[in-house]
Amino acid sequence: MSETETRDFIRQIIHDDLESGKHAEIVTRFPPEPNGYLHVGHVMSICLNFGVAAETGGRTYLRLDDTNPGKESKEYVDAIKRDVHWLGFDWEDRLTHASDYFGKLYESACRLIEMGCAYVDSLSADEIREYRGTLTEAGRNSPYRNRSVEENLDLFRRMRAGEFGDGEHVLRARIDMSSPNMNMRDPALYRIRHIPHQNAGDEWCIYPMYDFAHGLSDAYEHITHSLCTLEFEDHRPLYDWFLDQLKPEHRPRQIEFSRLNLAYAVTSKRKLNTLVEEGIVSGWDDPRMPTIAGMRRRGYPVAALREFVTRAGVTKKDKLIEMGMLENCIRETLGEQAERRMAVLRPLKVILTNYPENTVEMMSAMNHPARPELGTREMPFSRELWIEQDDFMEEAPRKFFRLRPGGEVRLRFGYIIRCDEVVKNAAGDVVELRCSYDPDTRSGTGSSNRKVKGTIHWVSCEHAVDASVRLYDRLFNEANPNAVDDIHSALNPKSLEVVDGKLEPALMELSAGQAVQFERLGYFCPDEKDDSAGARVINRIVTLRDSWAKLEKQAMQQQNQVV
């Protein structure tokens, strides 16, 4: 396949612009609003904006779109910078804020007034909404639309000086109240908000609207290609209108692409904030959240996220991407990288009745079956062991190749054992297995040719490390929770289960975010906030197999037919 055939449509546009000499250098920007944490959809935008610039030797700005001080905070600003860096991108000296341009934006607004292209409106918010019309009915001109240039300038300057209260006046563009595009019906340019700004402090009490600030900020920074998601397609005529009127030195071009919609997740900041405020999750960085902070805390590798957005592709068609695609990228990445360890999550005690008391053997265990260069480690083996409850069945079906009364299994890196006796409590629950081991079957010795069909993992009771293990699953049961009226009804009640696990001693050496595979169970890592040397808290990153695959395939077919 040729390079041209593998380019997405945005990269093709950029290639053509460079080939034609329209641009000597590509300059892009990633402009998040600091009103929440970044989520998986932003990963696509970050990788695209930084990626296309880097591929062509260009530059990218990280611009904080801080035009709405009532919902923004330094916490969100810091989180955004941390997330972009974690994904592997560097804006170098190109960190900017929309608020850096408030002075220039104010001057541009005054110019629009002087040109007769903007006016101060004194209608209330409800009245403006009423006058705006509907998708099928044209809007009506405000009674204040024909104020003189002098009166508009005077009112706007007094707005700037703080003479009026919130909502008393707004500055609007004078375009066309009968336009079929609602965005062109005299949109607001400035509103009064007597609120301190997280970057500008108390310097301003009027703030520009996003549509006014965005295109001009692009122009000030000499952005060549302003890459936006499809919901901004209807805003492009307004983006261009401001540039047409004000004629800045540099003219950027807006191009839209489809946003990344991930199944079984919401990416609306409003809905994510609801989950946080109502305590449904522990915070923006809860490992069940589709935020970058949540995914980092859960243990998702950066390489897997970047591979995921590459596979999802840059298109013009809205679609819902399977959660299974993301999880498979994680499995593939960790399958190659992560060392293997043993842990028991639902412990059942095994006593080897014929094993010498007060004896400990060290078993040699491979750190990775496909990467011998990662070496081996020593695992203590003793008379009393923990195995998984699911690895024993008292009345087992014919093809159950784990432990059963009278049956045999191999302990990984250890011996073959036979279950001789089942011990139960007063309620009839199995609490202990008494087994015998075959001393001639130690792994790696070649002293016995005896074979058994089942192999299970284990941890020595005496040497086990106690850990609180958080088993995370999807936060929602619905493939498209965004389409559900009440997201509470779509929540998965089993999205988090906490179990008291038993870990092999080598797992004490794990550091926060360091992923390993618990053999036969999945991929796990220490929680970056709650884990400590004295109290291990471990997160499940992803299971070894996709248990949702069949259900998700059916749901995706239905949802993408709707989209």
Domains, the chain, in order of start with CATH, read: 3-257 (3.40.50.620), 269-339+469-513+522-562 (1.10.1160.10), 343-457 (2.40.240.10)
Q: What is the per-residue pLDDT for 485? A: 84
Q: What is the per-residue pLDDT for 562? A: 52
Residue 563 pLDDT > 60: no
Residue 555 pLDDT > 90: no
**169 burial class (0-12, 13-18, 19+ CB within 10 angstroms)?**
buried
> Of the listed 59, 147, 259, 340, which one is catalytic?
259
Confidence of residue 558 (pLDDT cuts 50, 70, 90): low
Q: What is the per-residue pLDDT for 497? A: 97
Identify the CA nearest to 505 among candidates 349, 374, 382. Answer: 382
Q: What is the per-residue pLDDT for 3? A: 57
pTM of the full structure? 0.93
Q: What is the per-residue pLDDT for 546? A: 82
> Of the listed 7, 33, 71, 349, which one is catalytic?
33
> Of the listed 174, 269, 341, 442, which one is catalytic?
269
Which tokens go with 27?
């300059």
Q: Name beta bridge partners: 537.
A: 468
Residue 554 pLDDT > 70: no
Question: Whole-angstrom Cα distance, residue 525 to residue 533?
Answer: 13
Which tokens go with 333?
């990445």
**Mean pLDDT throughout 85-98?**
98
Burial 220-243 (b: 16+ CB within 10 A, else e): bbbbbbbbbbeebeebbebbebbb
The pLDDT tens digits for 307-320 are 999 999 999 998 89
Percent of the chain with pLDDT over 90: 90
Residue 42 pLDDT > 70: yes
Identify the CA nearest to 557 among candidates 322, 257, 313, 309. Answer: 322
The pLDDT tens digits for 165-180 are 999 999 999 999 999 9
Q: What is the per-residue pLDDT for 356? A: 96
Among 64-68, 230-234, 340-344, 484-488, which is the least confidently predicted range?
Answer: 484-488
Phi-psi label, residue 129: left if phi above 0, alpha if psi -120 to 50, beta otherwise = alpha
553 is catalytic: no
The per-residue pLDDT of the chain, averaged, comes to: 94
Q: What is the per-residue pLDDT for 479? A: 92
Residues in the chain: 563
What's the gap between Cα 2 and its chain centre?
A: 32
33 is catalytic: yes
Q: What is the per-residue pLDDT for 192? A: 98
Among 79-88, 225-234, 501-510, 525-534, which is the least confidently predicted range?
Answer: 525-534
Which tokens go with 54?
């880097």
Strand, helix or coil for residue 330? helix
Identify the CA nearest to 458 among candidates 397, 382, 406, 534. Answer: 382
Residue 333 pLDDT > 80: yes
Q: What is the per-residue pLDDT for 549? A: 66
> 524 and 469 in contact (C-beta within 8 Å)?
yes
End-to-end CA distance of the chain: 30
Q: What is the per-residue pLDDT for 482? A: 87
Parallel/antiparallel/unpaired status of strands 343-344 and 496-503 = antiparallel
Which tokens go with 182?
């609602």
**Mean pLDDT throughout 452-461?**
96
What Rg value do the Cα atoms of the chain yield, rounded?
A: 30
Residue 504 pLDDT > 80: yes
74 is catalytic: no
**Mean pLDDT throughout 338-356?**
98
Q: What is the per-residue pLDDT for 557? A: 59
Parallel/antiparallel/unpaired status of strands 347-352 and 384-388 = antiparallel
> 244 and 117 in contact (C-beta within 8 Å)?
no
Q: What is the per-residue pLDDT for 67? A: 97
Cα torsion 495, 496, 499, 501 to 10°: value is: 90
Confidence of residue 414 (pLDDT cuts 50, 70, 90): very high
Q: What is the per-residue pLDDT for 65? A: 97
Q: What is the per-residue pLDDT for 52? A: 97
**Mean pLDDT throughout 354-360?**
96
Q: What is the per-residue pLDDT for 471? A: 98
Within 8 A by CB and 6+ apart from 379, the residues are: 342, 362, 363, 364, 365, 413, 460, 504, 505, 506
Q: Which helix (H) or strand (E) holds 173?
A: strand 170-173
Question: Whole-angstrom Cα distance, residue 183 to residue 180?
Answer: 9
Residue 2 pLDDT > 80: no
Q: What is the per-residue pLDDT for 513? A: 86
The pLDDT tens digits for 53-66 are 999 999 999 999 99
The pLDDT tens digits for 99-127 are 999 999 999 999 999 999 999 999 999 99
Strand, helix or coil for residue 171? strand
Which tokens go with 515?
């992923």
> 362 and 504 in contact (C-beta within 8 Å)?
no
Place of tokens 């970044």: 38
DSSP characters over 61-81: EEEE----GGG--HHHHHHHH
